[in-house]
Amino acid sequence: MIGCFITGTDTGVGKTHVAASLLNALALHHRRVVGMKPVAAGVVRMGERCISEDAVALRAASTIEVPPELDNPVLLPDPLSPHIAAERAGVRIEIGHIVRCYRELARRADAVVVEGAGGFHVPLSETETGADLAQALALPVLLVVGLRLGCLNHAVLTAEAIRARGLALAGWVANRIDPAMDAQDANVAWLERRLAAPLLADIPHQSPPEVRGAFFKLPNAWT
C-alpha cells in the first residue's frame, strides 16, 4: 500500500489542488486510491449538511467511496487555526483516532494521500501540531512550495523540520501561485539544489486551478 502525507510551506499554497492531482496520477497505476483530510477547519453548507470543500475535492479525485468519518474525521466549523477552531467547537483533536482512520483507509485502498492542515507545525492542540500527526502516521512527506516571496526560507525550514522528525522527504512540488513573482525559475533551480529531494511536479499558475495527474513525475516506488 502506498501512502504519503502532504504538507506545505504555509496555508494557501495549493495543497488540496496538489493532493487531487497526485490522486489522479496514482489512479493511472492503481485501481483503489483515496484522499484523506484528517482535520478540516471551515465549512460550507450543502443543503442541511456542512462539508469541507477540501474533503469534497479529494473525494472527487478518489476512485473509491468511503464513509466521511474516515476520510475527514475532524470537521470544524470555523476557518481558523485547528487548535482554536477545535476549542470553539468543544472538540479535542485526537491523533490516535486519526491514525486509526488512516489505517482503515489503508486497508481498503492501494494508495492513500493524506493532506495536512496549514503548514507542518500548525497547532492541533495546546501540545500537539501537524508535525506530531505526520510522525504518528510515519508516512513519507511531500512538500508543496507555494512560489511567492519568502518561499525559499519557508521551504528549507520545513524540509529541516520534516527530517528532524525522522520522516522521509519523498519529494516536493513547485506550485506557481503568484504570477507576479519575479525570477520564478531561478527560485525553483535553487530549491532543486538545496532541498535534496526530487521535484515531482512544477505546476504553472492557473485560474481556476486544473486538477491533472500529468503534472506529476511519480517515484518508481509509487507506480
Which amino acids are annotated catalytic?
Answer: 37
The whole-angstrom separation of Cα 121 and Cα 8 is: 10
8 Å CB contact between 78 and 117: no
8 Å CB contact between 165 and 131: yes
Pull the grid cell for residue 99.
491514525
8 Å CB contact between 85 and 76: yes
Nearest residue to 196 via CA among 160, 149, 147:
160
8 Å CB contact between 146 and 12: yes
Pull the grid cell for residue 179.
504570477
Nearest residue to 134 via CA among 113, 162, 170:
162
8 Å CB contact between 196 and 171: no
